[in-house]
Structure 1
Amino acid sequence: MPRLALSNVEVVYDKVFLAIKGVSLEVGEGDMVALLGANGAGKSTTLKTISGLLGPERGAVTRGEVSFGEADLLPLGAPDRVASGLVHVLEGRRIFGHLTPDENLVAAFRAGGSAARLNELRERVYAYFPRLKERMRSKAGYLSGGEQQMLAIGRALMTEPKLIMLDEPSLGLSPLLVQEIFAIIREINSQEGVSVLLVEQNASAALEIVHSAYLIENGHIVMNGTAEVLKQNPDVQEFYLGGTGKVNYHEVKHYRRRKRWLA
């Protein structure tokens, strides 16, 4: 049984706009899966569907099923989904800037947990992100973009997740920082057995660390397979991995209309 499964899910905003249309995907236990696509394709909406954050944006699931293990997620609120072992690192980091990194980590720890467990988890986060320990008494709002992304991931680990969802962790970061953070994500997956669902526009970086991927366009899943299969697909290379040479844009427009993703 997959750890996370979406089956034919549709989401509507304001009872009018159909944002995702029949999306189905799976994330297995200990798996690393990427959800790739351009801006507005439905990537973030898919994550918010899973984590229960559609309501504040006037979105609703109108069709389909979302399960996590044996549990049906749709009747559960966001806090209950976190308690079940699912955590969502939002785009833009969303750390508490007025608190220190250490206070951010403490704030994410479950209510009623023991001090010993809190310290154990906190030291584990600092082992993955030594830079955060160096800056643990600074205001988090003064950290660099890369350090804030590290803190956002570390804070998620304080919830003891079984599956962590990352929304555009590379956003605004230098290539070297992206490489560093993605290497740590892969290490967390390997060492902790935490499943990862990674949403990324940087398809090239994402496909280097995940096991498999889904490609979403205009709210539809148009392709899925192993990372190697997607990297070798000519359409993916041309439209998501930078292409291989000069492009005739008139031909590209014509070709877009006749893509055969599943061929």
Structure 2
Amino acid sequence: MSFLSLNNVEVAYDKVFLAIKGVSLTVEEGSMVALLGANGAGKSTTLKTISGLLAPERGEVRRGQVLFRGQDIGQLAPPERVRMGLVHVMEGRRIFEHLTPDDNLLAAYPGRSAKSSFSQLREQAYAYFPRLAERSKSKAGYLSGGEQQMLAIARALMTEPRLIMLDEPSLGLAPVLVKEIFTIIREINRKHGVSVLLVEQNARAALDVADHAYLIENGNIVMSGTTEELKRNPDIQEFYLGGGERVDYHNVKHYRRRKRWLA
């Protein structure tokens, strides 16, 4: 039994626009899975389907199942899913800018239902992100983009997740910060056995840290496999990694490279 599985899920916005069309994917316990694709491919919608955050955007699941630890969670409210161990770090960080990092962490702490104390979880979060500890009393709005992304992940860890979903954690960050944050995410995954579902446009960074990957285009899963398999795929190399075939345009009058899965 898979830790998380989406089975033939279809999502529509405003009862008209189909955002994802029969998406199926699995995340095994303790694994790290990347979901790749361009803007508008359906990546964020897939995460919101899992976390239950479609309704505020007038989205709904038309068919299919979302199973977490063997339970159909389709009818559960987002807070119930968080209590089960699902946490979603949304694109754009969404931190409380008027609060300090300490207060942001406190806002996410589940209180009596937590297995660990607030101080234990805060200490763990700051151990992963020591620069946040140095800025713990500053307003979060004054942190750099990288520090705000670290805070968003640290805040998610306060819920003691079993599965953490990250939506574009590299967005707007310098390559050195992307590498640092992805290394920490991988450490969290390996040290604590927290499963990770990573949505990324930065395919190279995602494939370097994940175990398995899916490629979504126009709301459909068009490819899946181990990250090593996807790295070797010529279409992935050309369209997502900046490599692959090279065409001598001086010797051809017309050229349009088609992705093999669209043929």
Paired with 1:38 and 1:90, the residues of 2 have a C-alpha distance of: 17
SS of structure 2 residue aligned to 1:176: helix
Paired with 2:243 and 2:182, the residues of 1 have a C-alpha distance of: 23
1:127 aligned partner: 127
Per-residue CA deviation, residues 2-54 of structure 1 (Å, 9 max, x unaligned), is 11000000000000001100000000000000000000000000000000000
SS of structure 2 residue aligned to 1:19: strand
2:184 aligned partner: 184
- Contact 2:37/2:200 (8 A) holds in 1: yes
Q: How many residues align?
A: 259
Q: What CA RMSD, in Å, does the superposition of the two structures yield over aligned residues?
A: 1.7
Per-residue CA deviation, residues 61-116 of structure 1 (Å, 9 max, x unaligned), is 00100000021110100000000000000000000000000100011000325796
Per-residue CA deviation, residues 179-226 of structure 1 (Å, 9 max, x unaligned), is 000000000001110000000000000000000000000000000000
SS of structure 2 residue aligned to 1:138: coil
1:56 aligned partner: 56
2:227 aligned partner: 227
Pick from 243, 252, 255 the counterpart of residue 251 of structure 1.
Answer: 255
| 1:1-263 equivalences in 2 (<5 Å) | 1-113=1-113, 117-244=117-244, 246-247=246-247, 250-252=254-256, 255-256=257-258, 259-261=259-261
Q: 1:251 is matched by which residue type in structure 2?
A: Y
Q: 1:260 offset after TM fit, Å?
A: 2.7
SS of structure 1 residue aligned to 2:261: coil
Q: 2:16 is matched by which residue type in structure 1?
A: V
Paired with 2:116 and 2:216, the residues of 1 have a C-alpha distance of: 43
Paired with 1:94 and 1:146, the residues of 2 have a C-alpha distance of: 13
- Contact 1:223/1:262 (8 A) holds in 2: no
Paired with 1:179 and 1:245, the residues of 2 have a C-alpha distance of: 27
Paired with 2:125 and 2:220, the residues of 1 have a C-alpha distance of: 36
- Contact 1:132/1:151 (8 A) holds in 2: yes
SS of structure 1 residue aligned to 2:196: strand
Q: 1:158 is matched by which residue type in structure 2?
A: M
- Contact 2:114/2:160 (8 A) holds in 1: no
Paired with 2:240 and 2:224, the residues of 1 have a C-alpha distance of: 14
Paired with 1:60 and 1:251, the residues of 2 have a C-alpha distance of: 40
Paired with 1:170 and 1:115, the residues of 2 have a C-alpha distance of: 30
Cα separation, partners in 2 of 1:2 and 1:262, compared to 1, 3 Å = farther
Cα separation, partners in 2 of 1:45 and 1:250, compared to 1, 3 Å = farther
Paired with 2:113 and 2:43, the residues of 1 have a C-alpha distance of: 33
- Contact 2:114/2:159 (8 A) holds in 1: no
Paired with 1:90 and 1:99, the residues of 2 have a C-alpha distance of: 18
Q: 1:243 offset after TM fit, Å?
A: 2.0
Q: TM-score, normalised by structure 2?
A: 0.95
Q: 1:191 is matched by which residue type in structure 2?
A: K
- Give % identity: 71
SS of structure 2 residue aligned to 1:92: coil
Is there any run of 5+ residues in structure 1 with no aligned partner, and where?
none
Q: TM-score, normalised by structure 1?
A: 0.95
Paired with 2:145 and 2:114, the residues of 1 have a C-alpha distance of: 31
- Contact 2:234/2:245 (8 A) holds in 1: no
